[in-house]
Homo-oligomer: A and B are copies of this chain.
């Protein structure tokens, strides 16, 4: 849900330069036995991905919580992690695994093993069958829920790790894996798992943390993000029950003449949260701690914009104009710079075709707030509640279902340097992105107490995260785009680059 890969799909990838360089076969490859082992394992790796997709973990629907965690642990052990344990939380369990290679450098790896829910009716092939489907002009892709977000890239990374074991090659770094099953609902309980002393001790030794991702555009380019917005998932609920006015259930609509309506109450409360333009956040003090973009960040955005195709982006988003009729550059700066107050959905009373004469007892707005540095999760939740209370809306329930603060990673950090070296070594065109407009829980690593550089990294390609027909490219016919085995090779190389960058 919050994964930056979606936003990359939506905007950043489209902003990326489309210079055509090939994957250079010569540069910076991992050792030949590792490459050979990856290739020998290719079909088995695809099978592992298909089996994993067949076992969906869905956090907010109680689907395969324990089973998904057990499977995640076993996948790590099979790849060569020496120990793995399931860590219970108040929600979906986490998994913690380590691989001690006796190396001077340790790398943290963050996985999510949950997936977004899905409606099989909307899919062209069954979402859990993970069928191999031809994508004209791209190659063969696995279609299934979780294919790209995030089981495909994670399987490619585990295949790289396994290849070291299979080929008897010593890993250049030690690995610490932390995996959660609640990323799609805003990681509400993952901090609890991370706080375990053993996890803290293990991650405390890491030079940085990364999450595997298939981040190549259709032309093969990759955008490396220097941070991402934070997010708060929140539902505002107006009800006769909490309000003490209006009905505690749906009643006949004629009663509107003498009975209060919780749906109107919600409209009046929502109306205060954005300015009259229906766009600018109006929560009291919301912009107080917003750090303006640096000159360097603006420069990076300008470079992205110069290389992007505005018309194509607008077409893919189905929009005709940016908010406030701003030009592409101004709007792109806003996209990175601005915190948001978004309505994801509205649900109240009758929601079927046409109308039905009820006065609803309950109304709910599903919202998300996106936060930029130096806003924090706690600050924004507090300000939202205070804003509503100040205007007499204390009866509106504020249900925070997940979220976290923004994350940032320095351009000169070990992780960014290692990512750039790996991509350059593989001949993959790559640019920087100042800040993803989407979110991922990198702050759990970049924030206190760990304060580690953290990023998403990976070659390969996929799409349709959270949508029907989610796909992940397994065999690529475009020489600029990595298939699954090539991704594993690039991950293997990345381990060497992390060791190198950390040694500098």
**What is A's interface to B at a CB cutoff of 8 Å?**
1-2, 6-7, 9-11, 60-61, 116-117, 185-186, 229, 231, 233-235, 240, 244-249, 251-261, 263-268, 270-271, 274, 276, 278-279, 317-323, 326, 331-332, 334-361, 363, 366-368, 370, 401-402, 436-439, 466
Contact = CB atoms under 8 A, between A and B. Distances in A.
B356 A251 contact: no
Copies of this chain assembled into the complex: 2
Contacts of A336: 257
13 contacts: A6-B254, A251-B318, A252-B466, A253-B340, A254-B335, A259-B319, A260-B279, A261-B279, A261-B342, A264-B274, A267-B270, A267-B343, A357-B368
Contacts of A267: 267, 270-271, 278, 343
A340 B257 contact: yes
A367 B261 CA distance: 12
Listed residue (A244, A258, A279, A323) with the most chain B CB atoms within 10 angstroms of its CB? A258
Contacts of A361: 318
A344 B319 contact: no
Contacts of A246: 319
Contacts of A437: 254-255, 257-258
A178 to B, nearest CB: 23
Contact of A258 (B265, B278, B326): B326
A274 B247 CA distance: 19
A154 to B, nearest CB: 20
Contacts of A278: 260-261, 264-265, 267-268
A460 B351 CA distance: 33
A320 B368 CA distance: 32
Nearest to A270: B267
A349 B344 contact: yes
Contact of A342 (B117, B279, B359): B359
A346 B263 contact: yes
A144 to B, nearest CB: 19
A331 B258 contact: yes
Given A257-B335, A271-B271, A278-B260, A358 B340 contact: no
A269 B246 CA distance: 22
A346 B344 contact: no
Contact of A256 (B340, B351, B352): B340
Given A254-B335, A256-B342, 19 more contacts: A6-B252, A61-B353, A185-B355, A233-B354, A245-B323, A248-B319, A249-B318, A253-B344, A256-B368, A258-B323, A258-B332, A264-B278, A271-B271, A344-B355, A347-B351, A351-B351, A355-B368, A356-B366, A358-B466
A333 to B, nearest CB: 9
Given A6-B252, A254-B7, A346 B358 contact: no
A205 to B, nearest CB: 33
Listed residue (A7, A341, A347, A436) with the most chain B CB atoms within 10 angstroms of its CB? A347
A25 to B, nearest CB: 35
Contacts of A355: 185-186, 233-235, 344-345, 366-368, 401-402
A202 to B, nearest CB: 31
B366 A349 contact: yes
A157 B164 CA distance: 86
A332 to B, nearest CB: 7
A368 B343 CA distance: 24
A244 to B, nearest CB: 6
Which 7 pairs show the lowest CB-CB distances between chains A and B?
A345-B349, A345-B350, A256-B342, A256-B340, A248-B318, A254-B437, A263-B343
A252 B7 contact: yes
A322 B246 CA distance: 8
Given A2-B357, A355-B401, A366-B356, A255 B11 contact: yes
Nearest to A337: B257
Given A322-B259, A354-B235, A367-B355, A343 B254 contact: no
Contact of A247 (B253, B317, B402): B317
A329 to B, nearest CB: 11
A256 B274 CA distance: 12
Listed residue (A185, A357, A438, A466) with the most chain B CB atoms within 10 angstroms of its CB? A357
A356 B360 contact: no
Nearest to A234: B355
A355 to B, nearest CB: 4
A304 to B, nearest CB: 13
B318 A343 contact: no
Contacts of A257: 334-340, 370, 437
Contact of A343 (B258, B340, B348, B353): B348
